Amino acid sequence: METDLLFSLIVLILVSRLFGFLFTRYEYQSMIGEVIGGFILGPMVLRLIYPTQSLTLFADFGILLIMLVAGMDTNFNAFKQNMRGSIIVASLGVIATFLIVYFPLVALGFRWDTALFLSAIMSNSAIEVCASIFSKSSHPTLKSVVLGASFVDDILAVFLLGIVSSSVLGGAPMTPENIAIISLKILVFMLVSFFIVAKLIDWLFDRIRSEEGSEKLLLTTAILTAFAFGIASRLVGLNAVIGAYIGGLVIGKWGMKVGPMLKRRIAWNNMMADLNAMLKAIFAPLFFGYVGLVLSYNTVGSENYLIIIAMVGLFVGLGFAGKYIGCGLGARLSGFSGKASFMVATAMLGRGALEMILARYALESGVISQDIFTALILFVLVTIIVAPLLYGYTEKQWGDEALE
C-alpha cells in the first residue's frame, strides 16, 4: 500500500510539474498544465493513478499552503494607491456577478443551494491571474486599480463564500436568523484577526526575525499560523482554507510594514522565496494534479459531454457578463474611459485556485454533481487562459489611447 502511495506521489508530482513547466514557457499559469497532467494520468486517459484517501490528505496539505501564500502575496500597497476606485470596481463586480449568475441558474432548474454556491464562487477574481496579467503591462494606473480591486474582491469573496459555505456546505438552514448569525461570526472573526491577532503576529514574527538565521523558523511559524487559523475558522463555521487565507493576509500585513534597515522586508522576502519554492516544486503540482485526477475520475464513463460543454458555455457567459457589467461600471464611476473600463473588467475575468479548492469540497459534500464539478473546473481553466489573452489584445489595440 505504501509503495502504491509513493508511486502515485512520484508520478503525479513529476507529470504535473512537467506539464506546468511547459505551460509557463508559453506564459500561461502553471496550474493549467498541472491539472492537465493529473487528468492524463487518471482513468480517462492512461489509468495509472486513481484518487485515494491518502492522496487526498497530501492534497489537503497543499491546499493550506497555497492559500497561505495567496494571502501573504496580496498587494496591500496597490490597494492604498487607488483605494476608492479599487473598492468600487471590486464591490460592483462581486454584486453584479452574484446576481447575474444566481437568477438564471435558478430559472434553468439548478437547485437553489447549487446556484447559490456557484454564484458565490464565480463572483471572485483570482489575484494570481490579475498579477500575472500586469507583470508585463505598461499601464501603472490600471495595474494599481486592478490589483487593489483584486485585494478587495478577495475580502468580499471570502466573506460571501464564508456565509455560503457555512450554510450550503455546512448544512445549516438558510434562514434570515442563521445568515445573520453566520455573518456576525465571520465579521467578528475577520475583525479579531486583522486588528487583534495581527498585533500578536507582528510581535511574534519580529521576535523570531531578530534571532540570527531565523528565516527557516519564520517559515515554520508561518505554516503553523496557517494551520491555527484553519482550526479557528472551523470553530466559526468557515472552511479551513478560508482561515488559512486570512492567516496569510495577516502575515502579509506584517511583511509589508517598513522596519529598521528593511530587515523585516528582507526576512519576509526570504520566507516567501522558501514557501514559493516548496509550492512550485511539490505542493502546487500535487494539488492541481490531484484536481485533474478527480476531474478524470468523474469524467470517465460519463455520457453527458454535451451537457457539460453547454454548462461550460453557460458559466463562461454568465461569469464574464457579471465582471464586464459590474467591474466595467465600477471603473466608469471611478473616472476611467470606456476603453479603460473594458480593460479593467477584462483583467478581472480570471478565476483560479480558490475556485478549484472549494469546488472539490462542494463535490464531496454533494452540493454540486460530478458534471457540474467538471464544467466548473473547465470554466476556471478557460478564464485563466482567456483573461490574459483578451487583456493583451485590448492593450495592443488601444495602448495609451485607453487612458486619454
Asked whether 339 and 89 are in contact (CB, 8 A), the reply is: no
Percent above pLDDT 70 for the chain: 91
Q: What pLDDT score was predicted for residue 157?
A: 80
**Whole-angstrom distance, CA of residue 78 vs CA of residue 140:** 10
Phi, psi of 200, deg, nearest 5: -65, -40
**What pTM was computed for the model?**
0.85
Cα torsion 196, 160, 170, 305 to 10°: value is -140
> DSSP 3-state assignment of 139?
coil
Flag the least confident range among 57-61, 68-72, 134-138, 358-362.
Answer: 134-138
**Whole-angstrom distance, CA of residue 67 vs CA of residue 89:** 23
**Whole-angstrom distance, CA of residue 160 vs CA of residue 121:** 9
Strands, E assignment, 313-381 = none
User: Is the pLDDT assigned to residue 178 strictly greater than 80?
Assistant: no
**Whole-angstrom distance, CA of residue 56 vs CA of residue 48:** 16
User: Is the pLDDT assigned to residue 364 strictly greater than 60?
Assistant: yes
Mean pLDDT of 69-95: 84
Q: In terms of pLDDT, which residue wins out, 259 or 26?
A: 26
Mean pLDDT of 312-333: 96
- Average pLDDT, rounded, for the chain: 86
**Whole-angstrom distance, CA of residue 396 vs CA of residue 384:** 19
What nine digits make up the cell of 364?
464531496
Q: What pLDDT score was predicted for residue 152?
A: 85
Quick: pLDDT tens for 221-268.
999 999 999 999 888 777 788 889 899 989 988 887 766 656 778 888
Cα torsion 389, 391, 392, 397 to 10°: value is 120
Asked whether 124 and 54 are in contact (CB, 8 A), the reply is: no
Q: What pLDDT score was predicted for residue 252?
A: 87
Q: What pLDDT score was predicted for residue 1?
A: 44
In whole angstroms, how far apart are CA 61 and each of 223, 326, 338, 362?
Answer: 10, 35, 44, 18
R_g over Cα of the chain:
21
2-403, CATH topology level: Na+/H+ antiporter like fold (1.20.1530)
**Whole-angstrom distance, CA of residue 244 vs CA of residue 357:** 12
**Whole-angstrom distance, CA of residue 319 vs CA of residue 314:** 8
Mean pLDDT of 118-137: 82
User: Is the pLDDT assigned to residue 170 strictly greater than 80?
Assistant: no
| CB within 8 Å of 366: residues ≥ 6 apart | none
Q: In terms of pLDDT, which residue wins out, 54 or 134?
A: 54
Percent above pLDDT 90 for the chain: 43
Which amino acid belongs to residue 63?
Answer: I
Other Cβ atoms closer than 10 A to 397: 11
Q: In terms of pLDDT, which residue wins out, 161 or 192?
A: 192
Quick: pLDDT tens for 368-404.
999 999 999 999 999 988 998 898 888 888 866 666 5
Which amino acid belongs to residue 380?
Answer: V
Quick: pLDDT tens for 283-308.
999 999 999 999 999 888 777 889 99
Other Cβ atoms closer than 10 A to 262: 11
Question: What are the residue boundaries of the structural domains of the chain, listed by start?
Answer: 2-403
Asked whether 380 and 311 are in contact (CB, 8 A), the reply is: no
Model confidence band, residue 173 (pLDDT cutoffs 50, 70, 90): low
Q: In terms of pLDDT, which residue wins out, 53 or 175?
A: 53
Mean pLDDT of 10-26: 93
